[in-house]
Amino acid sequence: MNKPTIFFSHSGKDGEMILLLKNRLLEITGSTIDIFQSSDGQSIRFGRNWVHRIEEALNDAEIMFVFITPNSMMSNWIYFEAGHAYAKGIDVVPVGLGLDISTLSAPLSLLQGFNIISCEGLNNLVTSINENFDCKFPASFSDEDFARIADGHGEVANSTILENIFDSIKCQLGSTRWDAQDNTTIHDFSDYFDKVEQYLKDRNVDYSSMDRIETRVILVKGIQVTSYSARGSLGFQISPHNFDQSFLLFTDMVQLLDGADEICLEFTLNNRFVCLDSKLNQSAALSAYPDEFSSIAEDFGSFLYKTGDFRFSIHNVGRIEMPKYAIRISFNPKKENLQNIRMLIKSLLTKGIISTR
Taking the C-alpha atoms of residue 169 and residue 280, their distance in angstroms, rounded to an integer, is: 25
59 and 142 share one domain: yes
Q: What are phi and psi of 329, to 5 degrees?
A: -115, 120
CA dihedral sign, ordered 264, 265, 270, 275: negative
pLDDT bucket at 349, cuts 50 / 70 / 90: confident
Residue where a domain terminates, one of 104, 127, 152: 152
Which of 149, 124, 162 has the alpha carbon at shortest distance from 17?
149
Which of 33, 37, 18, 24 has the alpha carbon at shortest distance from 142?
24
Assess whether pLDDT exceeds 80 at residue 133. Answer: yes
Find out whether 157 and 147 touch, Cβ atoms under 8 Å.
no
Which of 222, 257, 214, 263 has the alpha carbon at shortest distance from 243?
222
Assess whether pLDDT exceeds 50 at residue 173. Answer: yes
Buried b (16+ CB within 10 A) or exposed e, 197-207: eebbeeeeeeb
145 and 31 share one domain: yes
pLDDT of residue 43: 45
pLDDT of residue 223: 93
262 and 320 share one domain: yes
58 and 138 share one domain: yes
172 and 230 share one domain: yes
185 and 135 share one domain: no
264 and 172 share one domain: yes
pLDDT bucket at 238, cuts 50 / 70 / 90: very high
Taking the C-alpha atoms of residue 201 and residue 199, their distance in angstroms, rounded to an integer, is: 6
pLDDT of residue 353: 85
- Span 172-178, mean pLDDT? 61
Assess whether pLDDT exceeds 60 at residue 155. Answer: no
43 and 138 share one domain: yes
Assess whether pLDDT exceeds 90 at residue 1. Answer: no
pLDDT of residue 154: 43
89 and 180 share one domain: no
Residue where a domain terminates, one of 87, 119, 152: 152
181 and 102 share one domain: no
Which structural domain range is residue 82 located in? 5-152
* pTM for the full predicted model: 0.60
CATH number, residue 49? 3.40.50.10140
Taking the C-alpha atoms of residue 23 and residue 25, their distance in angstroms, rounded to an integer, is: 5
Find out whether 320 and 85 touch, Cβ atoms under 8 Å.
no
Residue where a domain terminates, one of 103, 127, 152: 152
pLDDT of residue 100: 72
175 and 144 share one domain: no
* Size of the chain in residues: 357
Taking the C-alpha atoms of residue 221 and residue 206, their distance in angstroms, rounded to an integer, is: 8
Assess whether pLDDT exceeds 50 at residue 178. Answer: no
Assess whether pLDDT exceeds 70 at residue 201. Answer: yes
142 and 230 share one domain: no
What is the count of structural domains for the chain? 2
pLDDT of residue 153: 43
pLDDT bucket at 305, cuts 50 / 70 / 90: very high
- Span 344-351, mean pLDDT? 81
Question: Which range (124-133, 297-306, 347-356) has the least confidence?
Answer: 347-356
List the end-to-end C-alpha distance of the chain, in Å, as a whole number: 45
pLDDT bucket at 170, cuts 50 / 70 / 90: very high
